[in-house]
């Protein structure tokens, strides 16, 4: 149960190797935090150091595409760790050239969107049953308006974003809630080797924006916050100009 200043006791990170997810855990760290669970596709050898000075950190196996297992996994984690105050949905793949490969594109959609739906609903059902807790969903500005160069990835994030914001509305009055996080380009293992986009940030920057939004009860945050206003314009830019901007 969170205390009066919105410090969680228990955090579940779906995507336990995510640079952004782990940065959010570190930003949440406080003497109140007692349990952090990292859920990863390959749990062996996952680094648990540096995440918390106070909490016990454990690692469990999680496969975003094993949809039937998600609800039981979350229930089992809660049985061991207690009520889940924060569930962070931070798994996903970037893909490469998937606009020309139907099989690769389907796999990307299976992980980024379908996996987000199944794990998100499983988490929401548990949080609703508890009567409290927050699901933090790492979306992306790539889903606000899809770019020609990565439109398959952008479409998966658009679906995830729509799902997360809709789920937040559906949870109203239950005590549980959803915080949707829309980062721009983040310097992380996923984007290593790529040219930086304008307004690039580090995982720690996203974490600070996320936790600040969590504490004030926000439904959506952008990282950096300026992107909210940038995309208020970009989403209405005519198609020919938008395609030129993506070159």
pLDDT, tens digit, for every residue of 120-151? 999 999 999 999 999 999 999 999 988 888 89
d(CA 74, CA 247): 42
Residue 118: name the closest of 63, 157, 172 by CA: 63
110-127: per-residue pLDDT in tens?
A: 999 999 999 999 999 999
Q: Are 144 and 123 in contact (CB under 8 A)?
A: no
Least-confidence region, from 155-159, 224-228, 235-239: 235-239
Return the pLDDT at 4: 45
Return the pLDDT at 177: 97
d(CA 97, CA 176): 38
DSSP 173: T
Is the pLDDT at 1 greater than 70? The verdict is no
Return the pLDDT at 124: 97
Reported pTM: 0.94
DSSP 142: G
Calculate what percentage of the chain has a pLDDT beyond 90: 80
Instruction: Determine if the peptide bond prior to 36 is cis (ω within 30°).
Output: no
**Average pLDDT in the 57-82 region?**
96
Q: Which residues are catalytic?
A: 153
Residue 84: name the closest of 37, 119, 133, 131 by CA: 133
Calculate what percentage of the chain has a pLDDT beyond 70: 97
Q: Are 13 and 21 in contact (CB under 8 A)?
A: yes
d(CA 122, CA 245): 39
DSSP 90: -
Tokens of 96: 């490469």
Q: Domains in the chain, ordered, with CATH?
A: 10-245 (3.40.50.720)
Mean residue pLDDT of the chain comes to 93
Q: Are 154 and 95 in contact (CB under 8 A)?
A: no
């Amino acid at each position: 149960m969170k205390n009066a200043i919105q410090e969680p006791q228990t955090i579940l990170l779906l995507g336990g190797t995510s640079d952004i997810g782990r940065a959010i855990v570190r930003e949440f760290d406080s003497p109140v935090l007692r349990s952090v669970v990292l859920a990863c596709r390959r749990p062996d050898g996952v680094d648990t150091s540096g995440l918390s000075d106070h909490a016990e950190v454990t690692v469990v196996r999680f496969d975003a595409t094993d949809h039937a297992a998600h609800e039981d996994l979350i229930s089992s984690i809660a049985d061991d760790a207690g009520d889940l105050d924060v569930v962070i949905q931070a798994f996903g793949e970037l893909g490469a050239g998937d606009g020309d490969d139907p099989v690769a594109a389907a796999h990307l959609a299976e992980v980024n969107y379908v996996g987000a739906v199944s794990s998100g609903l499983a988490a929401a059902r548990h949080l609703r049953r508890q009567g409290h807790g927050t699901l933090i969903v790492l979306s992306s500005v790539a889903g606000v308006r899809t770019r020609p160069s990565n439109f398959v990835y952008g479409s998966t994030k658009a679906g995830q974003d729509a799902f997360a914001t809709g789920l937040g509305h559906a949870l109203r009055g239950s005590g549980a809630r959803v915080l949707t996080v829309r980062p721009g380009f983040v310097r992380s293992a996923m984007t290593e080797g790529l040219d930086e986009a304008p307004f690039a940030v580090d995982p720690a920057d996203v974490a600070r924006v996320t936790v600040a939004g969590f504490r004030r009860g926000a439904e959506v945050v952008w990282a950096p916050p300026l992107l909210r206003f940038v995309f208020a314009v970009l989403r209405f830019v005519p198609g020919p100009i938008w395609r030129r901007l993506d070159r």
